[in-house]
């Protein structure tokens, strides 16, 4: 899908731990049956099929319509492939990454190059690379050390240049450069002295600068010929800061589009006349923020928008686009996701997610209403016993409604209506961020755990994004407070609904979800049988002290939402809400996974709580990956950790598990402590 041009460099200074990087899946041999499996249990789905490399993903069509592209394995590592649009079978690998998988890419405006970013070992210093489609020649377009590059602006008129943000001068801020795609020359356009980001127009001129204020809000300043006006034309307070921002100009520069919650709760889509300043609403939904738009690649006019409450709902603003979307949904059996468009908007690539079948990508010729299937992302999952995901609403003790997602194992929901026929052990799977959200759709972790015999619940607790500003602000300074109460209320709901029993609940998650796991075992230890924490912070004070330099613009907002280490009150709050200080209260089994190069939640966060538990003689298993960052991007590492995790969960919840086998041996996993506390791990390490 093509979004509005000129998005902000750092989302107006927003920072979040975010969900950890988790790689997703390829083919493998069938696993051995689990011992003691119920007679009606479906076959185990091999971990490799769920978490290995996809066969193909991220299908795109080039702006000129001549080429198709996708990400697929080359020698076991995800790389970019291209093929003539007239002959998709004549595909060839364009890149040759040997270690880190390529996870996203874009076509250059002139369709001569593929542009992608990649880091080293998960350090998140993403450099920008360009690969010539005709010759296969790869160029490092931002050849700098310890630099995080990002594309700031592209144009449908200026084909040979893009705007790029670089923090090589000052690691806190991204200066804007013009990048000549033919020569690779970088020319400074705007030095950044304290701004969160910039919005460019279709002429690649910077028109808006976003500057954080002292209270965690954002001021927006007009720009003309590189000069930033002293007085902002819009001031956005803390409550609106995550739900209000300009997202781009129309192609003629006369209209500025906003996602905007000012004067309302959920974020609406607005169009502002640049000359008069008048705004008019284009779309809004009382239940959820506008979460995405489909725009005309010629004019950048919004043609459809998405509101995502329990399920995504696309609504057209253009009659012809509405007819196309209805046609696609009828033919494909699920809401379409437009992943790319040609410049003339005549052809799209469209993905569809049936949830209980592998996702598919299609080429759609709008003029002839012709659909051609390009690929199935995970053909090895065709016929696998995948189960539905169900959206549910859960009321909290203080009256909030939590949009959440429940997946039940096949044996506990024979008619697949989302109502449990009998209780099953429950894994509470907590999303990261916390300024993020869980969504409806195929979820490898949900399918994996449900296949092992567990009910799986993901909860959009207060502080999650997507459900309006009041829902976000209800989480301010409530880490380990009301945000955790929401998770407990969800567990209690599941018990009342017969989904599970109080003595069969585990908590698991990455990033903030890893923190929530540590909170669960330290603040409410009687609620959970065990926990799995992936890159989870244990000490909020050291977490905030060690944030990446490029989070500088969003630091005040982070303090406002978590706690300010510069004040006595803030320090007391950070200390009180840190699991580290309560490590001696852990009485249940704990498994920790960490990437050594994580720039957001540094290794010290896991080291600290493991050391505290070791000092008290409390069992804990600690797995470190030296070539990973904020989560596990390399499939062999992700599979290895999940192999340990499912055998760990089996020991405390009684579900099923595929033996660890050679999964750990194939990875870079280092078990720094407690191999004896995770079933099968010592034997796996011996073979390694």
List 240, 413, 598, 627, catalytic entry: 598
pLDDT tens, position by position, 250-291: 999 999 999 999 999 999 999 999 999 999 999 999 999 999
Q: Are residues 469 and 535 in the same domain?
A: no
Q: Give the pLDDT score at 357.
A: 95
Residue 429 lies in a domain: yes
* Confidence grade of residue 305 (pLDDT, cut at 50, 70, 90): very high
* pLDDT greater than 60 at residue 48: yes
Percent of the chain with pLDDT over 90: 94
Give the torsion sign (CA, 12, 104, 330, 446): negative
List 174, 390, 446, 630, catalytic entry: 630
Average pLDDT, the chain: 94
Range of the domain at 471: 385-502
* Confidence grade of residue 16 (pLDDT, cut at 50, 70, 90): low
**N-to-C CA span, the chain:** 44
Residue 446 lies in a domain: yes
Q: Which of 621, 649, 619, 645 shows the shortest CA–CA distance to 632?
A: 645
Residue pair 155/5 in contact by the 8 Å Cβ criterion: yes
Q: Are residues 450 and 535 in the same domain?
A: no
Tell me the CATH number at 682: 3.40.50.1820
Of the residues 486, 502, 518, the one at which a domain ends: 502
Q: Give the pLDDT score at 41.
A: 87
Q: Higher-confidence residue: 30 or 171?
A: 171
Residue 24 lies in a domain: no
At 168, phi and psi to the nearest 5?
Answer: -80, -20
Q: Are residues 463 and 535 in the same domain?
A: no
Query: Any alpha helices (H) in 497-602, and if so which ranges?
Result: 512-523, 540-545, 555-562, 568-576
Q: What is the mean pLDDT of residues 667-673?
A: 98
Q: Are residues 458 and 535 in the same domain?
A: no
Q: Are residues 399 and 535 in the same domain?
A: no
* Confidence grade of residue 29 (pLDDT, cut at 50, 70, 90): very low
* Confidence grade of residue 38 (pLDDT, cut at 50, 70, 90): low
Q: Give the pLDDT score at 423.
A: 98
DSSP-derived secondary structure for 252-304: TSSEEEEEE-TTSSSPEEEEEETTT--EEEEE--SSS-EEEEEE-TTT--EEE
Q: Give the pLDDT score at 40.
A: 72
* Confidence grade of residue 3 (pLDDT, cut at 50, 70, 90): very low
Residue 623 lies in a domain: yes
Is 69 catalytic? The answer is no
* pLDDT greater than 50 at residue 24: no
* pLDDT greater than 90 at residue 577: yes
pLDDT tens, position by position, 637-654: 999 999 999 999 999 999
Q: Which of 34, 3, 112, 237 shows the shortest CA–CA distance to 660?
A: 34
CA atoms within 13 A on the CB side of 612: 19
Residue 391 lies in a domain: yes
Q: Give the pLDDT score at 83.
A: 98
Q: Give the pLDDT score at 39.
A: 62
Is 484 catalytic? The answer is no
Q: What is the mean pLDDT of residues 577-581?
A: 98
DSSP-derived secondary structure for 130-154: EEETTT--EEESS--TT---EEEE-
Coil/strand/helix, residue 317? coil
Q: Are residues 474 and 598 in the same domain?
A: no
Residue 635 lies in a domain: yes
Q: Are residues 392 and 495 in the same domain?
A: yes
List 108, 464, 511, 533, catalytic entry: 511
Residue 511 lies in a domain: no
Q: Give the pLDDT score at 687.
A: 83
Q: Are residues 599 and 455 in the same domain?
A: no
Structure letter (DSSP) for residue 398: T
Rounded to 5, what percent of the chain is helix, strand, coil? 20, 30, 45
Q: Are residues 489 and 535 in the same domain?
A: no
pLDDT tens, position by position, 130-182: 999 999 999 999 999 999 999 999 999 999 999 999 999 999 999 999 999 99
pLDDT tens, position by position, 446-482: 999 999 999 999 999 999 999 999 999 999 999 999 9
Q: What is the mean pLDDT of residues 122-127?
A: 97
pLDDT tens, position by position, 604-624: 999 999 999 999 999 999 999
Q: Are residues 597 and 491 in the same domain?
A: no
Residue 236 lies in a domain: no
Q: What is the mean pLDDT of residues 424-432?
A: 98
pLDDT tens, position by position, 164-177: 999 999 999 999 99
Structural domain count, the chain: 2
Q: Are residues 598 and 687 in the same domain?
A: yes
Q: Are residues 492 and 417 in the same domain?
A: yes
């Amino acid at each position: 899908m093509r979004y509005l041009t000129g998005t902000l460099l750092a989302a107006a200074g927003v920072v979040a731990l975010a969900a950890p990087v988790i790689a997703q899946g390829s083919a493998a041999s069938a696993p051995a049956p689990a011992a003691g499996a119920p007679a009606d249990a479906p076959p185990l789905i091999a971990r490799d099929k769920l978490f290995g490399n996809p066969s193909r993903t991220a299908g795109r069509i080039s702006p000129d319509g001549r080429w198709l592209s996708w990400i697929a394995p080359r020698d076991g590592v995800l790389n970019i492939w291209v093929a003539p649009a007239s002959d998709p079978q004549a595909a060839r690998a364009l890149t040759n990454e040997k270690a880190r998988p390529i996870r996203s890419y874009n076509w250059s405006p002139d369709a001569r190059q593929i542009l992608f970013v990649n880091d080293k070992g998960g350090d998140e210093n993403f450099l920008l690379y360009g690969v010539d489609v005709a010759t296969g020649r790869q160029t490092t377009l931002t050849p700098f050390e310890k630099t995080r590059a990002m594309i700031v602006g592209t144009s449908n008129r200026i084909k040979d240049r893009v705007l790029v943000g670089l923090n090589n001068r000052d690691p806190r801020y991204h200066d804007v450069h013009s990048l000549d795609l033919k020569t690779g020359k970088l020319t400074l356009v705007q030095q950044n002295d304290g701004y969160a980001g910039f919005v460019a127009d279709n002429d690649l001129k910077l028109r808006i600068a976003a500057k954080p204020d002292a209270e965690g809000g954002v001021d927006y300043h007009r720009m003309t010929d590189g000069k930033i006006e002293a007085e902002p034309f819009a001031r956005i307070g803390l409550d609106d800061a995550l739900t209000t921002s300009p997202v781009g100009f129309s192609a003629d520069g006369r209209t500025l589009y906003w996602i905007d919650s000012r004067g309302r709760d959920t974020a609406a889509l607005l169009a502002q006349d640049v000359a008069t300043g008048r705004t008019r609403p284009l779309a809004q939904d009382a239940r959820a923020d506008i979460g995405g738009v489909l725009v005309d690649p010629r004019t950048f006019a919004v043609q459809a928008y998405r509101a995502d409450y329990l399920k995504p709902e696309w609504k057209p603003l253009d009659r012809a686009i509405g007819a196309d979307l209805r046609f696609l949904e009828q033919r494909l059996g699920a809401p379409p996701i437009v992943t790319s468009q040609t410049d003339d908007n005549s052809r799209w690539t469209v993905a569809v997610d049936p949830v209980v079948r592998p996702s598919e990508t299609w080429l759609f010729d709008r003029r002839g209403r012709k659909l051609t299937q390009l690929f199935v992302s995970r053909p090895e999952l065709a016929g696998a016993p995948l189960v539905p995901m169900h959206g549910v609403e859960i009321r909290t003790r203080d009256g909030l409604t939590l949009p959440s997602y429940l997946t039940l194992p096949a044996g506990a929901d024979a008619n697949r209506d989302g109502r449990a026929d009998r209780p099953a052990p429950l894994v509470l799977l907590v999303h990261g961020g916390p300024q993020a959200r869980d969504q409806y759709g195929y979820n490898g972790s949900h399918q994996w755990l449900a296949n092992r015999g567990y009910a799986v619940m993901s909860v959009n607790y207060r502080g999650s994004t997507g459900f309006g500003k009041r829902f976000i602000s209800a989480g301010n300074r409530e880490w380990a407070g009301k945000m955790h109460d929401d998770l407990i209320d969800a567990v209690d709901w599941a018990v009342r609904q017969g989904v599970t029993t109080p003595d069969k609940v585990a908590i698991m998650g990455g990033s903030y979800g890893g923190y929530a796991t540590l909170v669960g075992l330290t603040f409410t230890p009687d609620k959970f049988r065990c926990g799995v924490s992936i890159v989870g912070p244990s000490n909020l004070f050291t977490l905030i002290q060690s944030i990446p330099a490029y989070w500088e613009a969003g630091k005040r907002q982070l303090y406002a939402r978590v706690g300010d280490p510069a004040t006595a009150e803030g320090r007391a709050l950070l200390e009180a809400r840190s699991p580290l200080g309560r490590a001696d209260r852990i009485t249940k089994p704990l498994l920790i996974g960490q990437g050594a190069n994580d720039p957001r939640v540094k290794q010290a966060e896991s080291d600290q709580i493991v050391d505290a538990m070791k000092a008290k003689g409390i069992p804990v298993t600690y797995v470190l990956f030296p070539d990973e960052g904020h989560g596990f991007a390399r499939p062999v590492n992700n599979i290895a950790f999940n192999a340990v995790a499912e055998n760990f969960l089996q020991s405390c919840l009684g579900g099923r598990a595929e033996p660890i086998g050679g999964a750990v041996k194939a990875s870079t996993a280092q078990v720094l402590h407690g191999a004896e506390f995770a079933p099968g791990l010592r034997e796996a390490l011996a073979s390694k």
